[in-house]
Chain A
Amino acid sequence: MKFAITVFSPPYSPSSRRALRFCEAALAGSHEIVRLFFYQDGVYNASGAIVTSQDETNLGHEWTRFIESNSLDAVVCIAAALKRGVLDETEARRYQRPGDGVVNVPWALSGLGQLHEAAQQADRFIAFGGS
């Protein structure tokens, strides 16, 4: 089955952790993830600037490893990200902001059209962390 996944919650929220575990289980069960789309506070999952204490999980790092090792398509909504200070190097240069909070490498900043495109391709569209 083809899944499209959206995450609306920040990395310190239980629903973001559940989203990652769900994605791991989906791939382990030979399903396909057509795209991960991060919206609202979910964009913080892509932030390279989050520091967690050593005995705590850094979910952003886990997402990055998961996305890289499975060569997944991961998109961060650009409007939601700019508003929250989660920039990539191009955007940091464009708006002359410090590049310290840049997104971890395998994520692409793009528009909401990517969410709809993924939803069209997927058999199941699952959102984590809505209100």
Chain B
Amino acid sequence: MKSMLIISRQSPWSGPTAREALDIALAGGAFDIPMAILFMDDGVFQLCAGQHAATLQQKDLTANLQALSLFGIDDLYVAQSSLAARAVQPVETLSVKRVSDSEIATLINRYDHTITL
């Protein structure tokens, strides 16, 4: 089976992109396709604790992130430089591996297909 890496670069409040990137991953997981997600740039905000999506009349994405492991998607990565630039940390209940910029290149090479959203 060909594997796929989703690079998720948008904050959860900037429009439908964060959710639609996650939906590609969940759909792939449902078909047992080897999937991974790399959160980078503003995408790292999706991993932050204490979000109040309802104040923006939005649905909270964090529940969908917790569902990833139920769909067999355990390979979650976050760009260390994007976290540092924004001074944020991923929520502790989520197991996300931090990768340096040079490791990102290796990561992209490891997967057959890549989608950046």
Contacts and interface: CB of A to CB of B under 8 A. Distances in A.
Chains A and B bind each other: yes
A101 interface: no
B17 to A, nearest CB: 6
Contacts of A31: none
Range for the number of chain A residues in contact with chain B? 10 to 19
Contact of A131 (B10, B31, B113): B10
Contacts of A120: 1-2, 33
20 contacts: A40-B16, A40-B20, A40-B117, A79-B23, A83-B16, A111-B27, A112-B28, A113-B27, A113-B31, A115-B27, A116-B28, A116-B33, A117-B31, A119-B113, A120-B33, A125-B113, A127-B115, A130-B116, A131-B9, A131-B17
Interface of A: 6, 8, 39-40, 79-80, 83, 111-113, 115-117, 119-120, 125, 127, 130-131
B24 interface: yes
* Chain B interface helix/strand/loop/mixed: mixed
A130 B20 contact: no
- B4, B16, B20: which has the most chain A beta carbons within 10 Å? B20
A131 B24 contact: no
